[in-house]
A = this chain, B = another copy of it.
């Protein structure tokens, strides 16, 4: 079974408690449980991690080289400001898929700059916790020997 790091960035630990009309009422624990379940159905063993620290997120991406075959990454607000995370994604040899719960392109202007995105394989944005699930599906396809590539 292939192993996947699901990495949650800053403020996502508050999910379910913070602005539920925007982010839904599910907590991060519930989401992680659903992703483990859904990942399992796709043949993926999901290990989830959350941190509010840019440096810990870099460390986690580096660490994934040792045990994971792919990463699903919600960088939260660091998506708009962190070149260090972009370099970390580019430096590891794993496919990384960026996800966002809400449609960030429909929000404030400064959220339209997505600095990490060019180093990722792709993005899934705007579908709540199911953004992660779709990214796991995409990752599962990528990790299989694709019959005709992208």
Number of copies: 12
Bound Cα distance A59, B23 (Å)? 19
Judge whether B141 and A130 touch: CB under 8 Å. Answer: yes
Cβ–Cβ < 8 Å partners of A94 in chain B: none
Judge whether B58 and A91 touch: CB under 8 Å. Answer: no
Judge whether A10 and B58 touch: CB under 8 Å. Answer: yes
A to B CB contacts below 8 Å, 24 in the list: A10-B55, A10-B88, A11-B87, A19-B90, A26-B148, A52-B54, A52-B58, A53-B56, A53-B58, A54-B54, A76-B87, A77-B82, A102-B150, A103-B118, A105-B114, A106-B117, A120-B126, A121-B127, A122-B131, A124-B124, A124-B125, A125-B125, A127-B141, A134-B137
> What is the interface of chain A, defined by CB distance below 8 A to chain B?
9-11, 13-14, 18-19, 22-26, 51-56, 58-59, 62, 76-78, 80-84, 86-88, 90-92, 101-103, 105-106, 110-112, 114-115, 117-128, 130-131, 134, 137-138, 141-142, 148-150
